[in-house]
């Protein structure tokens, strides 16, 4: 499959150009969030400015959408716009949304309303937005798509499972193009969970190459979508593969962002044979961060360069341009999944 367009929304801003500029600048400074009015406890987070979620043109059919859905719609819209491809009606466009936690803020709000008002008086609007498939529904409405639609939820590998489904759809001829992406949001509840279950770096610094058995993180949020096609011609960015077998690579992107406590497992990839890369210092720690790492890889392959401020070796070895990049993610139980991207 080939990446023809990318749309992205994160703490760095909106759009692939904004993300590229962030890779040029280097590690970003997170914001501060007060997640508990009771304790007034503040933690650093890579959150999205709410001003970026207001686009009357794109969101004209999504006026009632919650924050989670708006993030997904904007990134999906931008991915299609970035490709420059006009999808004809006979060329069905599939949509796959992958997420770790879904619209959990709205879900908690819905449950709170049941407790406060009873199930007979709860808002039907809040209920309709509390289901995981709401974001995909808004995307199809905004883009007026006619192809298959699905939402996949998994704590560890939602993007990898979405790639498998996209590949099946394209190979079976169900659609010519697939918009595939991830989205997850921050909320006071998620910030509290991260504070309790993870070790948050109070200075707001991500340290992906420490390979620590007590890894630290800074929680993040965002959405990233890719327009994929089977067409081998005129590939705008690169080719993407989801096969899990070992492969020779010019670069390993380590998805070490503190969301699993013990990151010593990533140390085995530090052999000196390939560059090591991690861009989490600009978007933070997320269970569904694979899409953001793949966006970094796509830019490096397209631009024929390495953003050395995020490479482990910032000397001559890190300046070699890669042809084959493998993004590696380990889960808490040390299960492994990879995505391979090539020119």
Confidence (pLDDT) at 316: 42
Q: What percent of the chain has pLDDT over 90?
A: 64
Domains and CATH numbers, the chain: 2-342 (3.40.47.10)
Q: If residue 3 lies in a helix (H) or strand (E), which one and from where to where?
A: strand 2-10
What is the per-residue pLDDT across 21-51, written as a single tens digit (0 to 9) for each? Answer: 999 999 999 999 988 767 778 899 999 999 9
| C-alpha–C-alpha distance, residues 84 and 90, integer Å | 18
Confidence (pLDDT) at 108: 79
What is the per-residue pLDDT across 116-162, written as a single tens digit (0 to 9) for each? Answer: 778 777 777 776 777 888 899 999 999 988 899 999 999 999 999 99
How many alpha carbons lie under 13 Å from residue 323 in its C-beta half-sphere?
2
Average pLDDT on 67-85 reads 95
Confidence (pLDDT) at 315: 44
What is the per-residue pLDDT across 296-340, written as a single tens digit (0 to 9) for each? Answer: 999 999 999 999 899 986 444 445 678 899 999 999 888 999 999
User: Which residues are within 8 A (CB) of 179 and not within 5 positions of it... i.e. 6 or more apart?
Assistant: 76, 79, 80, 93, 94, 95, 96, 139, 143, 145, 225, 226, 227, 228
281 and 206 in contact (C-beta within 8 Å)?
yes
Predicted TM-score (pTM) of the model is 0.92
Which pLDDT band, with edges at 50, 70 and 90, does 186 fall under? very high
């Amino acid at each position: 499959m080939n990446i023809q367009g990318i749309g992205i929304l994160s703490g760095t801003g909106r759009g692939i150009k904004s993300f590229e500029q962030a890779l040029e600048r280097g590690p970003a400074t997170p914001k501060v969030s007060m997640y508990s009015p009771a304790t007034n406890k503040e933690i650093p987070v890579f959150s999205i400015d709410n001003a970026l979620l207001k686009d009357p043109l794109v969101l004209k059919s999504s006026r009632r959408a919650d924050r989670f859905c708006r993030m997904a719609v904007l990134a999906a819209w931008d991915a299609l716009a970035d490709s420059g491809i006009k999808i004809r009606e006979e060329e069905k466009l599939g949509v796959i949304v992958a997420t770790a936690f879904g619209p959990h803020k709205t879900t908690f709000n819905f449950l709170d309303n049941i407790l406060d008002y009873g199930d007979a008086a709860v808002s039907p609007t809040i209920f309709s937005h509390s289901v995981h498939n709401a974001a995909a529904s808004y995307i199809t409405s905004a883009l007026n798509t006619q192809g298959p639609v699905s939402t996949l939820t998994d704590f560890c590998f939602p993007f990898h499972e979405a790639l498998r489904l996209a590949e099946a759809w394209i190979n079976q001829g169900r659609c010519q193009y697939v918009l595939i992406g991830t989205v997850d949001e921050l909320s006071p509840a998620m910030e509290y969970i991260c504070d309790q279950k993870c070790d948050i770096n109070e200075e707001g610094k991500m340290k992906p190459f420490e390979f620590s058995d007590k890894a630290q993180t800074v929680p993040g949020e965002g959405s990233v979508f890719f327009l994929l096609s089977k067409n081998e011609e005129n590939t705008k960015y690169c080719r993407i593969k989801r096969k899990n077998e070992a492969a020779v690579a010019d670069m390993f992107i380590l998805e070490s962002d503190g969301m699993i406590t013990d990151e010593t497992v990533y140390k085995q990839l530090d052999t000196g044979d390939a560059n090591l890369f991690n861009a989490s210092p600009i978007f933070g720690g997320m269970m569904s961060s694979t899409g953001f790492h793949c966006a970094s890889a796509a830019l490096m392959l397209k631009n024929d360069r390495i953003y050395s401020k995020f490479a482990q070796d910032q000397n001559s070895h890190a300046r070699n341009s890669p042809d084959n990049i493998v993004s590696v993610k380990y889960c808490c139980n040390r299960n492994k999944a990879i995505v391979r991207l090539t020119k």
